[in-house]
Amino acid sequence: MAYATGNLPEAFNLIIATHVSLCDECRAVVESCDAVGGSLLEETGAVPMCAESLERALAALDLPPPPRAKPTPGVLPAPLQAYVGGDLDAVHWRPIGMGVKQAILPTSPDASARLLHIPAGVAIPDHSHHGNELTLVLQGAFADEEDRFARGDLEVADGDVTHTPKADPNEDCICLAVTDAPLNFKGWLPRVVQRFVNI
């Protein structure tokens, strides 16, 4: 509902839009929320507007649309390709240790979004969460102490979740991870690295 009403931070909007592009069931839920919102708008009374409102709206119609890369079939769904500027070959990966790479995506400062490339069989160090973390699998799969997540699956973790996600041994795992607070790593080395890689 918060996604449908536009009340989420940009990074969370991005992960939900990406997930919805992969999940028919969740897309139907979002469409239902949109329908409820539309119905509420129809029943809402008119609001007075300033004198320049019509002129500004008409002027905005004359502006050219912002340039956007045309989505192509690939690993990254269309909403994510718009942020990256293409598919995986357009991602600017940076190593963060143990073969894991990340690419931080430009979003508003109230939450962060990053692509993670985790080599097959590699585990992210044991951690809990100071806030919320949503992780969407785009390629491969990973498992933690509770479940296994494959393409299109979305894991939701908060301060009650402590886990050690590990990529499946057969294929590298690529995920979109969104957080609204830093992770809480248990080991001293990951905590040191955390300061430099902004996780």
- Which pLDDT score, from 0 to 100, does residue 191 have? 54
| CATH match for 1-199 among 2.102.10.10, 3.40.140.10, 2.60.40.1180, 2.60.120.10 | 2.60.120.10
Q: Which amino acid is at 21?
A: S
Percent of the chain with pLDDT over 90: 42
Which tokens belong to 131?
Answer: 């806030």
What average pLDDT is seen over the chain?
84
Residue 152 to residues 111, 118, 119, 148, Cα–Cα distance (Å): 21, 16, 18, 12
Cα–chain-centroid distance for residue 10?
9
Packing angle of the helix pair 10-22, 24-43 (nearest 10 deg): 120
pLDDT in tens, 4-17: 888 889 999 999 99
Return the biggest CA–CA distance within the chain: 63
pLDDT in tens, 16-51: 999 999 988 988 888 887 777 665 566 677 777 887
Residue written as tokens 């690419």?
Answer: 103
Give the angle subtended at the CA of 120 by the CAs of 115 and 126, to the nearest 5°. Answer: 70
Please determine, for residue 164, whether its predicted confidence score (pLDDT) is greater than 90: no
- Which pLDDT score, from 0 to 100, does residue 32 have? 83
- Which pLDDT score, from 0 to 100, does residue 130 have? 80
Where do the domains of the chain lie? Answer: 1-199
CA distance 137 to 151: 5
CA distance 47 to 168: 54
Evaluate whether 96 touches 104 at the Cβ level (below 8 Å). Answer: no
| Burial class of residue 181 (count of CB atoms within 10 Å of its CB; 0-12, 13-18, 19+) | middle
- Which pLDDT score, from 0 to 100, does residue 35 have? 75
Cα–chain-centroid distance for residue 4?
15
Percent of the chain with pLDDT over 70: 83
Spell out the long-range contacts of 88-94 with Cβ–Cβ below 8 A and sequence spacing 24 or more.
88/174, 91/115, 93/117, 94/197
